[in-house]
Amino acid sequence: MKFQIIKSPSKGTLDMLIRRMGTGNNKDLISTDAVGLVQGMMIDMICAADIAEKAVGVTVKDIRGSCPQNMIMIGIFGDTASVESAINEIKDSLKKEKDLC
């Protein structure tokens, strides 16, 4: 599993991500402070998404669009502290291995 946090992402970067979501109205994400990215196997990304969803102050998105391939990346949008906190919760669960969810 791989993690990245982009602080103050450029508009072009957010456009790339939003274009890959494919569903719903995600325009408000363009003014996000930070974005956390998590990449991994689909089964783990569903768990990571669930952990992040239960964290506060972040919006979680499946970065893939409507073509149902292997979901390999989720984006976690919010202010920098909330994104970092959500990423840390995923990393903490990961340490307790075989027990991510």
Pairing of strands 34-39, 2-7: antiparallel
Q: What are the phi and psi torsion angles at 72 (to 5°)?
A: -115, -5
Q: 96: exposed, middle or buried (C-beta count within 10 Å: 0-12, 13-18, 19+)?
A: exposed
Decide if residue 57 touches a copy of itself (CB under 8 A).
no
Give the shortest CB-2-to-a copy of itself separation in angstroms: 5
Give the shortest CB-49-to-a copy of itself separation in angstroms: 5
SS3 content of the chain, % helix, strand, coil (to 5): 45, 25, 35
Decide if residue 92 touches a copy of itself (CB under 8 A).
no
Give the shortest CB-93-to-a copy of itself separation in angstroms: 11
Q: What is the C-alpha to C-alpha distance for residues 10 and 44, in angstroms, rounded to an integer?
A: 28
* Interacting residue with a copy of itself among 46, 80, 89, 91 (CB under 8 A): 46
User: What are the residues binding a copy of itself (CB under 8 A)?
Assistant: 2, 4-7, 9-13, 16-17, 19-20, 22-23, 37-39, 41-44, 46-47, 49-50, 53-54, 60, 62-73, 100-101
